[in-house]
Amino acid sequence: MKNSFENVVKILSVEADAIELAAGRLDQHAVEKALDILTKCKGKIIVLGVGKSGVIAQKISQTMTSTGTVAVFLHPSDALHGSLGVITKGDVVVALSNSGETDEILALIPTLKNRGIEIISIVGNVDSSLALDSDVVLDASVDKEACPLNLAPTTSTTVALSLGDALAMTLMQSKGLTERDFAENHPAGRLGKRLTIKVKNLMHESPDITAEASWLEVVKAISKYTLGAVNVVSEGTKLIGIITDGDLRRIIEKTSPENLADLTADQMMTRKPTTASPEMLAYEALKLMEDRPRQISVLPVTDEQGFCVGLLRLHDIVRSGL
């Protein structure tokens, strides 16, 4: 097992060294021209690749799309059998091929040229047919594969992927993509949820009672709404307090049985409670609940005039995946 561990470390080092060598080998003019073409693209970025290069091409296209650059992976074989219609005027093609001699890609070149499509190639052989027919050539050559037999695409695909990532990240920066922009493209991810889900998306209808309600009416209201709390409102549903399950238990424990009949919501409620607004991000509401000396699990939701519009529970925020 020791030799196996050392072998894994060695292979990682080989791939890391290959990326470093590729970075030093890049031609500045070629990189700047490629980025200029991609930045000015009025259509889509079409990323091509076959086999392992196809897998890398898919990853590059997805990375570009998620970071503000519309990109589509197109398998060259599919393109030759009708899917070439995806490529239209104004698009740019990024073609990946370690050898630079991939038949399916080379077969597309005449049609791409006829349509005025600019071609950026990421190749392991800068003297290849694909490189010679490209507008820009990015050198992704490697001295050897990490494969012990120097056969399986390993180091070469790692370098191609890293180069694609570098292009995508540079494009993202040049387009000024913000954290919020990124989140909008990732609504199911944690970051996306934190920057897009609002209180109004998670809150419940406001469980209202009046300040004059008896303790028994409070009990019934909490049971009816099953939210663990009720909002205490004045006429016109303006918030004046909140009563939680915990408040209810504590006040009943402290009140003698003979005085329970006179107990009202006004005596039980927490006045001027912390509130959230409907347009507040749910993540901000979560911090309101947690970043305090004593954590709370519910928040009344009020509009700009202080009228109750809902109730938000910590449970609802947690369940949303924040």
User: What does the pLDDT read at residue 139?
Assistant: 97
Residue-number span of the structural domain to which 144 is assigned: 2-177
Q: Is residue 103 situated within a structural domain? A: yes
Residues 211 and 263 in one domain: yes
CA dist 274 and 86 (Å) reads: 54
CA dist 189 and 290 (Å) reads: 22
User: What does the pLDDT read at residue 138?
Assistant: 98
Helix or strand run (H / E) with residue 232? strand 229-233
Residues 94 and 132 in one domain: yes
Say if residues 164 and 248 touch (Cβ distance below 8 Å). no
User: What does the pLDDT read at residue 256?
Assistant: 86
User: Which segments of the chain have a pLDDT < 50?
Assistant: none
Residues 157 and 218 in one domain: no
Q: Which residues, other chains included, contact 56 with Cβ-Cβ below 8 Å and sequence gap of 6+?
A: 49, 96, 157, 160, 161, 164
User: What does the pLDDT read at residue 291?
Assistant: 87
User: What does the pLDDT read at residue 195?
Assistant: 66
Q: Is residue 187 situated within a structural domain? A: no
Number of domains comprising the chain: 2
222: domain CATH number?
3.10.580.10
CA dist 119 and 134 (Å) reads: 5
CA dist 86 and 72 (Å) reads: 9
Identify the three-state secondary structure at position 159. helix
Residues 30 and 120 in one domain: yes
Residues 173 and 260 in one domain: no
203 residue type, one letter: M
CA dist 249 and 263 (Å) reads: 13
Residues 168 and 309 in one domain: no
Residues 130 and 232 in one domain: no
Average pLDDT, the chain: 90
CA dist 52 and 145 (Å) reads: 13
Residues 147 and 209 in one domain: no
User: What does the pLDDT read at residue 126?
Assistant: 96
